[in-house]
Amino acid sequence: MIQLNTIHESPVTRRKLVIIGNGMAGARMAEDILAADPNHDFDIVMFGDEPYGNYNRILLSHVLNGSQEPQEIFLNPLAWYEENQITLHAGKRVTKIDRENKIVYADDVAEEYDVLIFATGSRPFVPPIQGTTLHGVFVFRTIDDCRNIAEYAKDCKSAIVIGGGLLGLEAAKGLMTHNVSVTVVEMGPWLMAVQLDEAGGKVLQQTIEKLGITALTSASTKELLGHTTVTGVKFADGREVAADMVVISAGIRPNKELAAEHGIVCDRAILVDDQLRTSDTSIYGVGECVQHRGMVYGLVAPIWEQTKALAQLLTGKNPQARYVGSKLATKLKVMGVELASMGRISDVKPTDEVVTFAEPGRQVYWKAIVRDGKVSACCMLGDLEPADQLVDYFMNDTPAPSRRLELFFGSGTKAQGADFSLADMPDDKQICDCNGVSKKTICDAIRAGKCTVPAVGKATRAGTGCGSCKTLVKGLIEAVNGEVKAEPSESWYVTAVPMDKPTLVAEVKIRELKSVSAVLRELGTADDEKSKNGLASMLKSIWGTEYIDERDARYINDRVHANIQKDGTFSVIPRIYGGITSADDLIKIGQVAKKYDVRMVKFTGGQRIDLLGIKKDDLPKVWADLGMPSGYAYTKALRTVKTCVGTEFCRYGTNDSTALGIALEKKFQGFEFPAKVKLGVSGCPRNCSESTVKDIGIVASDGGDWDILVGGAAGASVRKTDLLCRVKTQEEAIRVVGRFMIYYRDNAKWIERTYDFVPRIGIEKIRDIIVNNSLGIVEDLDREVEKTIAAYVDPWLERNNPVYAGQFEDVKTVPLPMVTV
């Protein structure tokens, strides 16, 4: 039965405003009404097809590339709607409108309206070709799309993105972070045809190809190949390219159907006038679903102008408010490439003057079109130094300088020239283009005490879009407040305890907090699993053997000393010191593998052997049969010491790398850190054990000394190590390594690997402390090394005495009682 929702307690004079669509435009509409008149007389009701509160769609690319969590991009949580007395029907799609009686219907809900606003946005355009419904074919528009793409990409090696526009490139970049090789396919002759001309498109192509993305232009897709799952695409010219997944980003189509079906006049989108009114005077439209003076926009900036004008009108604050169209000037960052675009660059008349500047070496390309002495369009790529100045010329129709080159190379005559300062910027100057935030709004927030970039972002939204204005925001904070405060939570060791590491360590010591639950009880403000893990690691290094080891503060891998696999079984990697094993050990490993029916026996990237697919119940037995210590492949601890054959066999070796590798691994095994630590030892500068991309690498120099290198990695981040020092002997090498390890252990943030830690502290400072003993702590560090060694117990010995009930038990079976029928 359909339930009619009318708000009875409201006085008769109240009007009911219904908004269809809870996207960027819909939510902003509601906000703008609240802002225009806090005492407005509307009962606001919103329908959103997506089952959430409102999120920032332009940040989806960040979610896809993993730099932001889905939770982080939500703008208005459900509580916001409640607080502002807005009824939100989330997950409800409006399917019917009764214009005569002014009622909208969605599923089982019906709402009457006095004023109705369409904010239905648009949807991805899927070309009418074969295969678009195959498994592994995606579009990129919603948070669910992001999640599905990311999830599917895990099992993929290659992906094709159809469409080389802004969104297609964002999708491609996102996919790169999931380690798939990406090909972007563009039907037109160059990339980003809307924003760039041919030369610019070519520059962009070179830039992204350098990043490892293949771009195919003038390639028209004819068919997606595959039976149930997509396997590739076929082009009109007959070429086929294989791929494990396809993302279609071939443009958008306004969601106008609902309006059209109910007799509202539409063209390419829902037609609205300067008052944003449709052909029905009670019905309005904002956002990507509308067409205004012939324009359908695909960016957020015009939306902010539309909702603002409409809010003024509807609340009666300014009955003269009109929306007269937007001039689009956007600064974007596509795959790390800076890009600015104003007006329509493809629109060149014979009488226009075209001013270009190109610097191919740096992939810089600037082009401006001057029409009737004014800048009518512009695109800039690679370096946006003069972009603000051009935006100004473009937006304000300022006459272009007669020496046209001054467009790009300002003569200092304009405010934005050489001595341009933030203070001179007019108050209404838009700083954040993504969210339409002016300088004044930001400065007001700063004066109200928001003195960090994230705090300003939270209060005004500035900087929470593409992020390109964050430096300006920071500059404004400096200008208004004198200094930028650091965001406190950024310095916290874990999120559940609002303290940086040194404060936390001090508190823990003073209060003698020896267990995770004690710390959370006394100092915590929340309880989450990541914080528990982090605290456990820290407390263990502070208290050593006195640490009260609560197993519920550990992740499953650290509870059963093995890595959980996707089917609930585990993997077992025994320690193989320095990557050197023996025939007997290999036989033993082979026998164990056979006895327990190990599904896969694999050489790892860390020079040892992984037995995969072991049941939890079998773990203790496998360890006992192997009789080898744990390789700690699961926890934040010393992982492997990779070695090369060195002097023992290699004709180039100058130093005994295997001996040093084994000695290091034996000494430091079981050391736990804020993040994993991997070592490599190479017997000569040829560096066959890849020591220059390890957390700690040791490389024999030509003269036979050892170079101690730190802060390298070659996983999700690749960083070459920094040279800490050069030592003469193996003993010295071990000592320096130990000192560095403890210093890192005690000063790094949770999950901060050395590749972030070393640059954060600075190699000079670390060298001063570890090598030159500038703080006088090296003896303490040495003592700490010995203390940690003394506290080491092979965790696999828990096989004999499980420390908690069911530690190594898969399932307990409880039979149902027999029932007589």
Distance CA 231, CA 449 (A): 55
- Judged by CB under 8 A, the residue of 532, 676, 749, 753 near another protein is 532
Neighbours of 357 (CB within 10 A): 16
Q: Which residue, 363 or 604, is less far from ligand SRM as judged by CB? A: 604
| 564 binds another protein per the rule CB under 8 A | yes
Provide, rounded to whole angstroms, the least separation between the CB of residue 681 and ligand SRM: 13
Q: Which residue, 194 or 716, is less far from ligand SRM as judged by CB? A: 716
The residue type found at 490 is: E
Query: Are the C-beta atoms of 140 and 124 separated by less than 8 Å?
Result: yes
Q: Which stretch binds ligand SRM (CB under 6 A): 8-16, 501-509, 532-540, 598-606?
A: 598-606
- Residue bearing tokens 């084994």: 662
Provide, rounded to whole angstroms, the least separation between the CB of residue 202 and ligand FAD: 23
- Judged by CB under 8 A, the residue of 133, 801, 813, 820 near another protein is 813
Q: Which stretch binds ligand SRM (CB under 6 A): 130-138, 174-182, 230-238, 599-607?
A: 599-607
Query: Are the C-beta atoms of 353 and 337 separated by less than 8 Å?
Result: no
Q: Which residue, 20 or 143, is less far from another protein as judged by CB? A: 143
- Judged by CB under 6 A, the residue of 76, 122, 541, 640 near ligand SRM is 640
Provide, rounded to whole angstroms, the least separation between the CB of residue 96 and another protein: 25
- Judged by CB under 8 A, the residue of 68, 87, 398, 807 near another protein is 807
- Judged by CB under 8 A, the residue of 440, 551, 686, 720 near another protein is 551
Query: Are the C-beta atoms of 789 and 780 separated by less than 8 Å?
Result: no
Q: Which stretch binds ligand SRM (CB under 6 A): 153-161, 633-641, 723-731, 793-801?
A: 633-641
Instruction: Report how far Cα 230 is from the mean position of its chain's Cα atoms.
Output: 27
Query: Are the C-beta atoms of 751 and 793 separated by less than 8 Å?
Result: no
**Residue 439 interacts with, from another protein, ligand SRM, ligand FAD, none (CB under 5-8 Å by kind):** none
Distance CA 69, CA 155 (A): 21
C-alpha dihedral, 124 to 127 to 133 to 138, nearest 10°:
-40
| 601 binds ligand SRM per the rule CB under 6 A | no
| 639 binds ligand SRM per the rule CB under 6 A | yes
Q: DSSP letter at 398?
A: P
Please state the three-class secondary structure of 781-792 as a single string.
HHHHHHHHHHHC
Neighbours of 535 (CB within 10 A): 28
**Residue 189 interacts with, from ligand SRM, ligand FAD, another protein, none (CB under 5-8 Å by kind):** none
Provide, rounded to whole angstroms, the least separation between the CB of residue 696 and ligand SRM: 11
Q: Which residue, 333 or 799, is less far from another protein as judged by CB? A: 799
Provide, rounded to whole angstroms, the least separation between the CB of residue 125 and ligand FAD: 12
Phi, psi of 643 (to 5 degrees): -130, 165
**Residue 525 interacts with, from ligand FAD, another protein, ligand SRM, none (CB under 5-8 Å by kind):** none
- Residue bearing tokens 């539409």: 266
Distance CA 561, CA 629 (A): 11
Strand 181-185 and strand 158-162: the pairing is: parallel
| 66 binds another protein per the rule CB under 8 A | no
Longest CA span, the chain: 100
Interface with ligand SRM (CB under 6 A), residue total 21
Query: Are the C-beta atoms of 38 and 59 separated by less than 8 Å?
Result: no
- Residue bearing tokens 């071990």: 734
- Cα end-to-end span (Å), the chain: 40
Binding mask 737-766 for ligand SRM (x = CB under 6 A): ----------------x-------------
**Both structure tokens of 132:** 């678009």
- Taking alpha carbons only, the member of 455, 434, 435 closest to residue 444 is 455
Distance CA 304, CA 25 (A): 8
**Residue 814 interacts with, from another protein, ligand FAD, ligand SRM, none (CB under 5-8 Å by kind):** another protein
Q: DSSP letter at 463?
A: T
CA 81 vs CA 53, 54, 118, 516: distances in Å = 8, 10, 19, 37
For the sheet containing 232-235, what is the strand order? 221-225, 232-235, 240-242
Beta strand spans in 553-629 (E): 563-564, 570-572, 600-603, 609-614
**Residue 49 interacts with, from ligand SRM, ligand FAD, another protein, none (CB under 5-8 Å by kind):** ligand FAD
Q: Which residue, 26 or 795, is less far from ligand FAD as judged by CB? A: 26
Binding mask 46-65 for another protein (x = CB under 8 A): -----xx-------------
- Residue bearing tokens 């599904």: 599
**Residue 643 interacts with, from ligand SRM, ligand FAD, another protein, none (CB under 5-8 Å by kind):** none
Distance CA 553, CA 195 (A): 52
| 590 binds ligand SRM per the rule CB under 6 A | no
3 state SS of 87: strand
Distance CA 518, CA 539 (A): 11
Distance CA 33, CA 117 (A): 12
| 556 binds another protein per the rule CB under 8 A | yes
Provide, rounded to whole angstroms, the least separation between the CB of residue 276 and another protein: 31
Residues 6+ apart with CB under 8 A from 20: 26, 47, 94, 104, 116, 117, 118, 119, 120, 258
| 783 binds ligand SRM per the rule CB under 6 A | no
- Judged by CB under 8 A, the residue of 238, 812, 820, 821 near another protein is 812
| 801 binds another protein per the rule CB under 8 A | no
**Residue 174 interacts with, from ligand SRM, another protein, ligand FAD, none (CB under 5-8 Å by kind):** none
Window 552-571: residues binding ligand SRM (CB under 6 A): 563, 565, 571
Question: Which parts of this chain interact with ligand FAD (CB under 6 A)?
Answer: 20-26, 47-50, 57-58, 60-61, 93-94, 119-121, 140-141, 167, 170, 255, 258, 287-289, 298-301, 303, 332, 434, 466
| 481 binds ligand SRM per the rule CB under 6 A | no
Q: Which residue, 397 or 809, is less far from another protein as judged by CB? A: 809
| 810 binds another protein per the rule CB under 8 A | yes
Provide, rounded to whole angstroms, the least separation between the CB of residue 540 and ligand SRM: 19
User: DSSP string spanning 114-174?
Assistant: SEEEE---EEE---S-BTTTSBTEEE-SSHHHHHHHHHHHTT-SEEEEE--SHHHHHHHHH
Provide, rounded to whole angstroms, the least separation between the CB of residue 498 and another protein: 17
Q: Which residue, 565 or 730, is less far from ligand SRM as judged by CB? A: 565
Q: Which residue, 296 or 681, is less far from ligand SRM as judged by CB? A: 681
The alpha carbons of the chain give a radius of gyration, in whole angstroms, of 31
- Taking alpha carbons only, the member of 477, 473, 545, 547 closest to residue 516 is 547
Q: Which residue, 554 or 639, is less far from ligand SRM as judged by CB? A: 639
Residues counted in the chain: 821
- Judged by CB under 6 A, the residue of 610, 665, 672, 705 near ligand SRM is 610
Provide, rounded to whole angstroms, the least separation between the CB of residue 556 and ligand SRM: 11
Interface ranges with ligand SRM (CB under 6 A)? 563, 565, 571, 573, 602, 604-606, 608, 610, 633, 639-640, 642, 678, 713-717, 753
Contacts to another protein by CB under 8 A:
51-52, 70, 143-144, 517, 526-529, 532, 550-556, 559, 564, 566, 568, 804-807, 809-817, 819
